[in-house]
Amino acid sequence: MLTYSCRIIDTLGDIQTILEQGERQEDLDKLFLDRGMTLLSSKRTGDNKGIKLKLDNIIEFTQTLSLLLDSNLSLKDAIKISTTTFKKTALRAISQSLAVGLNRGDSFKSILQNSAYGFPPVYLGLIEVGEKTGKLNLVLRQLSRYLERDKKFNDKLKGAMIYPIFILIISLLFSIVFILVILPQFNSMLSSFGGGVTDILGRRGRIFTHIIIIFISILISISALFLYVNIL
């Protein structure tokens, strides 16, 4: 399947640019016509795998469908409502594809799998289990909770890395300043007394000193990382 960037007029009359997959560019006109949309232009993107949805988009998609299905709506009715609920172009395009595919008799999982917007394999596998067991609403509810926890963990991890990275940068800057500025001045001071750092320590001693400084800087950074994570 090839991926195309399509400029279309959707069912609400808005002009959007979305990704869609198809065997031939000529088939896109009929594809969008079946969805009640008008294709204005299309261009092959060169990426046959489509694009991966952001975690925030997957969470919004999952939560919305979960809430609609928990309201005792059928899957087709829930998808129909979601096409007007989603504001993001990618999610609206997925909902419109689902509406057409379900009316055609395709499975929920196969429509998502063939979408130009990629879903994780584990997500698709659980959706398939939910369809076969008739408990899609429960699966979506559990997926929503899992994805929320995953997002919170990722956000926490990113936040935890900011402080130690800052400490690492400061430590490296201090090491550079010490080696390039302070050490030469110290060497000049000792030279006035008849011997410099190089004369006292020798070449090996100077290299060893630099290694010690870098090691201490890394040690400080690692300690700061563990301290910050434990505080969180």
Q: What is the DSSP letter of 117?
A: E
Which of 25-29, 46-50, 151-155 has the largest mean confidence? 151-155
What span, in angstroms and rounded, lies between the C-alpha atoms of 117 and 75? 20
Q: Which two tokens stand for residue 42?
A: 């299309």
Task: Work out the mean pLDDT of the chain and round it to a whole number.
Answer: 75
| Reported pTM | 0.58
Which of 113-117, 128-132, 160-164 has the largest mean confidence? 128-132
pLDDT digits (tens, 9 = 90+) for 91-112: 888 888 888 888 888 889 888 8
pLDDT digits (tens, 9 = 90+) for 161-198: 777 777 777 777 776 777 677 666 666 665 665 555 45
Residue 31: its H or E element: helix 27-34
pLDDT digits (tens, 9 = 90+) for 79-89: 888 888 888 87
| Higher pLDDT pick, 44 / 66 | 66
pLDDT of residue 231: 46
Report residue 224's pLDDT band, with 50, 70 and 90 as the boundaries: low
Q: Percentage of the chain with pLDDT > 90?
A: 7
Give the residue among 51, 35, 39 at the shortest CA–CA distance from 96. Answer: 35
Pair 6, 20: CB distance under 8 Å = yes
